[in-house]
Amino acid sequence: MHLAMRSEGLQNAIAALATNNMRMRGGIEGRRLSLPHDCRLLPDHAFSEMTAQELREMQGEPSNEEKRYKTNSIAFLNMQLANPHGAKDDSVLATLLILCLFHVCDSGFTKFKTQLAGVQKLLSMRDRAVQSSFLGWIELFFTWFDVMTSAVNDRETEVQGDSLDMMNLTANLGALEHLAGCEGRLFKLIARLGRLNLLSQNRPVRPSNATPRASPQPKRQRDFYSFNFRNIDGNGWGTPVYGSPSPLTPTMDDRNALFWTEWNDIRTRLQDWEFDTSSTVPADSFGAASSEQGLSLAQADLLHISESFRYAALLYIERLAHPTPPSRALNFQNLVTQGLFHISQISITSCVNKFVLWPLFIIGTECVDLEHRAIVRQRCVEIQRESGFFNNLSSLEVLEKVWHEDKEGEAQPREQGIHYDLTSLRHLACEALETSDWFRVDA
């Protein structure tokens, strides 16, 4: 907020997010029964029985005030970016973050790939010799966006900050741990899933060192999380343009071998992972009371959210290794059951509940049991009511399309092309959504 005191762009971005969030939350919470002489509010169970489309229609249209705040914030932001000195101000990154949240709250989907490439370019303009707690926090927030979206959108991660050592798989995230959504070592493993997804399809990936390991390995080239800003196209916001393949470009057989090497490494680490009860989580982060297991509420919440991420990641790589069996196969359903158990242990009012959507979505794609699907649907609606962020309903819309497709073709084997991008289904869900590039960072 102290940055907003001197930044009109950030002030307007915050106002746009606030007015949008109030509309999203009020559209559901204020809905009453449409019966003569009955003005009672809809009962809680009614919302979980509605389709995502019915809930979408309850949100209403953006007000002129909301549109004005959004337009003004983008205009002020572009003015700052036009000034080389202004582009390096902390308020620019803060404004970008709020606008990202606005678009997620408003539509549920946004062009994170191009926006994150621009964020990385802005970070590269900063004097990295000058470290600040704000920069470390902002890097983690954008890294979290990057990791969570890359795994389900057929791409590698874009952001590589200096504040986080994503290659050290034995260390957590320190003071930033509670911002990652799960335990730090686990978060770093999940950051590798997008690349593994591409390898499973024999698609090219960025040059890398050998599979990241805790112990030092002989270096071959740069690591696969690095990012070359010169490979961005003209306005700095398009798809990265990679040069022509070198004579050392891996063949399909090489990529297949690399997939299994990395798959086995990630799977082993996920299976061996255990929650560190000695890890320090600020007591006032989630509450200081103790649970029945002797863990504080903070530790219990972090345990269950981390386990839900772990089982979702195990399910993710299990599907990559076995792309054709139906979802009802036991190797998938055992992981679904375990993941949903841990999700169900997280209270809807918990501070970690806002992170549940990613494991909920991954697990939901393999749900075949009607009770399991009902749990996923109810949790998506509950999170939407609590947070007002529309990405929860957008994700539910995609899942309902997946479930519909599975019902229609349950006698047919799963096609090789699903690979967690859910491309055709995602496009169906996004057709009516406005996803515009907000600003430019000129090279």
| pLDDT tens string 217-237 | 333 333 322 333 333 333 333
Report residue 29 as tokens.
């919470």
Report residue 103 as tokens.
């678009």
For 232: left if phi > 0, alpha if psi spans -120 to 50, otherwise beta; the answer is beta
Indicate whether 440 pLDDT > 90: no
Indicate whether 326 pLDDT > 90: yes
Q: What is the 3-state secondary structure (H, E, C) of 245-285?
A: CCCCCCCHHHHHHHHHHHHHHHHHHHHHCCCCCCCCCCHHH
Residue 438 CA: distances (Å) to CA of 112, 219, 347? 11, 38, 36
Q: Which residues pair with 296 in a beta bridge?
A: 290
Which residues have C-beta within 8 Å of that of residue 415, sequence separation ≥ 6?
Answer: 323, 324
Report residue 264 as tokens.
């086995």
pLDDT of residue 358: 92
Among the ranges 77-81, 269-273, 281-285, 420-424, which has the highest mean pLDDT value? 269-273
**Residue type (1 letter), 68:** R
Where is average pLDDT lowest: 51-65, 112-126, 177-191? 51-65
pLDDT of residue 290: 47
pLDDT of residue 296: 84
Separation CA 236–CA 257 (nearest Å) = 34
pLDDT average, residue stretch 149-155? 83
Indicate whether 424 pLDDT > 50: no
Length of the chain: 443
Q: Which residues pair with 290 in a beta bridge?
A: 296
Contact 383, 357 (CB under 8 A): yes
**Helix/strand/coil percent split, the chain, to 5:** 55, 0, 40
Separation CA 183–CA 187 (nearest Å) = 6
Mean predicted lDDT score pLDDT of the chain: 73
53 or 354, greater pLDDT: 354
Nearest CA-CA partner of 199 in 366, 320, 314: 320
Nearest CA-CA partner of 17 in 430, 389, 349: 389
pLDDT average, residue stretch 328-333? 96
Burial 392-431 (b: 16+ CB within 10 A, else e): bbbbbbbbbbbbeebeeeeeeebeeebbbbbeebbeebbe
Separation CA 148–CA 311 (nearest Å) = 15
Cβ neighbourhood burial of 433 (10 Å; 0-12, 13-18, 19+): middle
Indicate whether 297 pLDDT > 70: yes
pLDDT average, residue stretch 249-267? 84
Separation CA 424–CA 70 (nearest Å) = 30
pLDDT of residue 434: 31
pLDDT of residue 146: 85
From the centroid of its chain, how far is CA 427?
A: 18
* Residue 33 confidence class, pLDDT cut points 50, 70, 90: very low
Among the ranges 46-50, 156-160, 364-368, which has the highest mean pLDDT value? 364-368
Contact 102, 70 (CB under 8 A): yes
Separation CA 190–CA 148 (nearest Å) = 8
* Residue 367 confidence class, pLDDT cut points 50, 70, 90: very high
pLDDT of residue 24: 73
- Answer positive or negative: Cα dihedral of 412, 416, 421, 427: negative
Residue position matching structure tokens 């024999």 = 202
pLDDT average, residue stretch 140-156? 83
pLDDT of residue 40: 46
pLDDT average, residue stretch 267-279? 87
From the centroid of its chain, how far is CA 251?
A: 31
Report residue 427 as tokens.
């496009």
Q: Which residues pair with 254 in a beta bridge?
A: none
Cα 147-148-151 angle, rounded to 5 deg = 80
Indicate whether 198 pLDDT > 90: yes
Cβ neighbourhood burial of 343 (10 Å; 0-12, 13-18, 19+): buried
Percent of the chain whose predicted confidence (pLDDT) is above 90:
27
For residue 340, give the 3-state DSSP assignment. helix
pLDDT average, residue stretch 280-287? 47
Indicate whether 293 pLDDT > 90: no
| Predicted TM-score of the model (pTM) | 0.75
For 60: left if phi > 0, alpha if psi spans -120 to 50, otherwise beta; the answer is left
Q: What is the pLDDT of residues 98-126, one digit of tens each?
A: 988 887 767 655 556 777 777 888 888 88
pLDDT of residue 435: 37
319 or 132, greater pLDDT: 319
For 372: left if phi > 0, alpha if psi spans -120 to 50, otherwise beta; the answer is alpha
Indicate whether 76 pLDDT > 60: yes
Q: How many CB atoms lie within 10 A of CB 209?
A: 18
Indicate whether 259 pLDDT > 60: yes
Indicate whether 55 pLDDT > 80: no
Cβ neighbourhood burial of 137 (10 Å; 0-12, 13-18, 19+): middle
Cα 288-140-422 angle, rounded to 5 deg = 105
Contact 433, 107 (CB under 8 A): yes
Indicate whether 89 pLDDT > 50: yes
Nearest CA-CA partner of 55 in 377, 355, 361: 377
For residue 162, give the 3-state DSSP assignment. coil
